[in-house]
Structure 1
Amino acid sequence: MTAPDHLRITGPEDILGFIPHSLGYWPARSVVAMTLQGKRLGATLRVDLPGEGGSPGSCGSAGLAAFARSVSSYLEADEDADGSLLALFTETDGDGTPWTELLTELENALADAGMPVRDAWLVGADYWRNAYCLDPSCCQPPGRPVEEIRNSRLNAEMVFRGSTVGAAPGTSLRTPPGAADPAVLAAQRDWEQLFSACGRDRSQFGQVLDVWSRVLDAPAPGQKLASDLTGYLRASLCVPPWRDAILVMAAAGPAAAQRGAEDFGVFDGGWLDARRGRSLAESKPVTSPLAPLPLLEGFPAPTPRHGRDGNSGGSASDPVPEVPGYGEVLLGLAPPLPDWTSMARLERVLEQVGAAGGEAGAAALTGQGWIEWCRGKGSFADALFSRADEEHPGYRLAELLGELVRRGTLCGWARRRETAWQRFEPDVA
């Protein structure tokens, strides 16, 4: 690794200007807490303001104290933190009186956790101010223009480096009705009919993962895919064990995907035959997998995943890493470090494959949501899970993962600095 490239903060406008780039959007009705490691920024956490419509007074003292302890517990994942910063995005301008009790509870909880608050700010719709400053010469309500944040030196530097601030979670445009390619849907129907006879075939399972690997390993994984190939990918997402294996493979490699299928009895028909209401005796495995090789012209053979699936290519004396199960991978508990590059490539492919909607669209949205949750972006994840449920009401995986997000559960990788996804390469000091 090369030495980290530092972005320097010279004032509060820079800190507040960094927040939207860290989150990917300008927060609204939010508490944003950042850990400090000496003079260096650590983790960033965003949570909704407590209370009805972001009015903390409706929570009561006990509710605010519980909220503050929850914020503190999340930030404790940064084991090197020795301080914290707070920003309350309230969308209202004026003095800070309504937020005094909330700030006090946050200060107490963070101090008890060894992360005392070093500074805090209130950011309204048009003005911002220091939450502790009482000097009317510089902090007189309603404060200083928010444009100072948007025009800060660090904000300009982030834009120069290619960072963008997008729409808030749930506000991005949906695919308009009728936009689906009929050729894609026709190809999907054809592949679904063929897959229905070989869903528990081991060779077909391996070939599906091979096709996805080749698409993900393409030089431009977001390139426009042919209709037949898009239909194939969509049809494979409609077989839940294959869908889960694709997510696991992206994060942990093909050996983890294979092991999970074995554990769930996919190949002996345990899951698929129960789903179709057939007994094992009535089911016949398919020995000749459906080969979509003409669809893959121009796609290279998949690159071996070294060091993630037990096939590291080392000497015979090297210990073979234990292959994680589906549950461990989907919760971010294993492997020790996920393949963030492969997951980002999968995200781009899912965006394209899911555009035609339906059950496959819900599967694609759920996969995107899972990747966002793994990154620690719960708001984006929740919005994608909600969209998946709208696309295909009752979509089970979206419901299960959405419940994790709503309970405030953090992905295991996101809880550890050494494994967490990094939006930016440079450190910020």
Structure 2
Amino acid sequence: MEKLTITTPSDVLSFIGHTLGFWPQESLVCITLNENSIGATLRIDLPRQPGQELPYARTVAHYLTSDTNATSIIFSVYTNETAQHGQARPHAGTIAALTGVLAEQGITIRDGLFVGDETFSPYDGEPGTNLALPVNSTQTSAINAEFIYRGSYIEPTDRITLPTTGQAAAKAAAVEHHIDSIAALPTDTALQQGRKLWANMLDSKTFPNDDDCHALVAHLQFPAIRDRLIADIPGMNEPMQQILFAQTEAAPKWSRIEWAQQLLLHAYTRTSAEHAAPILTAIGYINWWEGRGSKAHQFLQLALDTDPAYRLARLSDQMIGSGLVA
């Protein structure tokens, strides 16, 4: 993937929207920087109660310092609270606390934006000045055009809407048939069979038939096969553990990862709730790899809704919540 050059505040907001996949609301978004290179992007709900500024700032700093290369950040405050002339910006206490906590870690705040419903402006600018720009100006930014050209788009919110499914009993029976067949095979044979099936799907340009979807879902029910298939998604020749924890040296094949998500969503519509947890967990992993922690959390919670005892979803959600950066 070619490098992107961010030069304007509109570019920053477009980058945030496309990186997260949605337009934030009542949120603090921080982007870590190492000199002029972008690192991790963090979105977190703004504090709702006064007096929580310092604990909140420490939580944010904990996440940001997970990027060990970070030397500075830029931030954006998204809120429908209005800034009044001659008064401090909304959440000024939070930003002040964050400035101090980050300074203790050797990280400076390079710049900040205040983003309202209709306009945005420099966070430290005076409300009502001509520095404010319309939010819809981000639609004409160079970064927005580049992301759209690459097939990206920004959802209005981060709410996930899963495709609908039907005929649950028949689909469950089809998956169970494949599960029985896989269980009868030697472990290595079953693993190689599952990897071949998945590789053919990832290399194809079209969606698989229903029987292949049922077979994929069945293979994902076996933890050892599931982990290997998830690690096969980025198309990298590195140790499985490093791939799963997104701590690889080389860059993954992002187009392959996006296609994998589409395949998994397609397979989700071909199965029932009792077999859906591994699919939703794998999609959660993909969103975490892509830096979309909020969506990753939602997919993992959806997995736990279908199977509250599904251990990988619970552990993965705890891992993401701890601040580990892909």
TM-score range, shorter chain: 0.7 to 0.9
- Contact between 1:363 and 1:388, CA under 8 Å: does it hold in 2? yes
Deviation at 1:8, TM superposition (A): 4.8
1:174 paired residue number = 162
**Cα displacement string for residues 107-129 of structure 1 (whole angstroms, at most 9, x for unaligned residues):** 22333333322321221223323
- Contact between 1:43 and 1:75, CA under 8 Å: does it hold in 2? no
- The 1:26–1:179 alpha-carbon spacing in structure 2 relative to 1, beyond 3 Å, is farther
Give me the whole-angstrom Cα distance separating, in 2, the residues matched to 1:160 and 1:231: 34
Give me the whole-angstrom Cα distance separating, in 2, the residues matched to 1:226 and 1:136: 58
- 1:404 counterpart letter in structure 2: M
2:221 paired residue number = 238
> Where do 5+ consecutive residues of structure 2 fail to align?
none
Q: Tell me which structure has the larger Cα radius of gyration.
A: 1
Give me the whole-angstrom Cα distance separating, in 1, the residues matched to 2:9 and 2:245: 36
2:290 paired residue number = 375
1:7 to 5, 8, 29: 5
- The normalised TM-score by structure 1 is 0.65
1:195 paired residue number = 182
Q: Does 1:120 align with 2:112?
A: yes
- 1:231 counterpart letter in structure 2: H
**Cα displacement string for residues 67-114 of structure 1 (whole angstroms, at most 9, x for unaligned residues):** 323333433455554432111111333335431111111222333333
2:261 to 340, 343, 347: 347
- Give the alignment of 1:9-408 within 5 angstroms: 9=7, 11-38=8-35, 40=36, 42-51=38-47, 55-57=48-50, 60=51, 63-78=52-67, 81-95=70-84, 96-134=88-126, 136-138=128-130, 144-169=133-158, 171-178=159-166, 182=170, 184-198=171-185, 200-218=186-204, 220=205, 223-251=206-234, 307-308=237-238, 324=239, 326=241, 328-333=242-247, 335-337=248-250, 339-341=252-254, 342-355=256-269, 356-406=271-321, 408=322
- 1:48 counterpart letter in structure 2: I
Higher deviation after alignment, 17-26 or 171-180: 171-180
Give me the whole-angstrom Cα distance separating, in 2, the residues matched to 1:381 and 1:135: 36
- 1:7 counterpart letter in structure 2: T
Give me the whole-angstrom Cα distance separating, in 1, the residues matched to 2:127 and 2:183: 72
- Contact between 1:27 and 1:168, CA under 8 Å: does it hold in 2? yes
- Contact between 1:33 and 1:87, CA under 8 Å: does it hold in 2? yes
- Contact between 1:35 and 1:84, CA under 8 Å: does it hold in 2? yes
- The 1:190–1:379 alpha-carbon spacing in structure 2 relative to 1, beyond 3 Å, is same
- The 1:340–1:410 alpha-carbon spacing in structure 2 relative to 1, beyond 3 Å, is farther
Give me the whole-angstrom Cα distance separating, in 2, the residues matched to 1:188 and 1:13: 48
Give me the whole-angstrom Cα distance separating, in 2, the residues matched to 1:93 and 1:404: 36
Give me the whole-angstrom Cα distance separating, in 2, the residues matched to 1:160 and 1:375: 18
Give me the whole-angstrom Cα distance separating, in 1, the residues matched to 2:3 and 2:265: 31
Percent same amino acid at aligned positions?
Answer: 25
Deviation at 1:385, TM superposition (A): 0.5
What SS does the aligned partner of 2:41 have? Answer: strand
1:301 paired residue number = none
- The 1:188–1:338 alpha-carbon spacing in structure 2 relative to 1, beyond 3 Å, is farther
RMSD: 3.0
Deviation at 1:371, TM superposition (A): 2.1
Deviation at 1:363, TM superposition (A): 0.9
Give me the whole-angstrom Cα distance separating, in 2, the residues matched to 1:346 and 1:148: 33
Give me the whole-angstrom Cα distance separating, in 2, the residues matched to 1:105 and 1:74: 15
- Contact between 1:22 and 1:44, CA under 8 Å: does it hold in 2? no
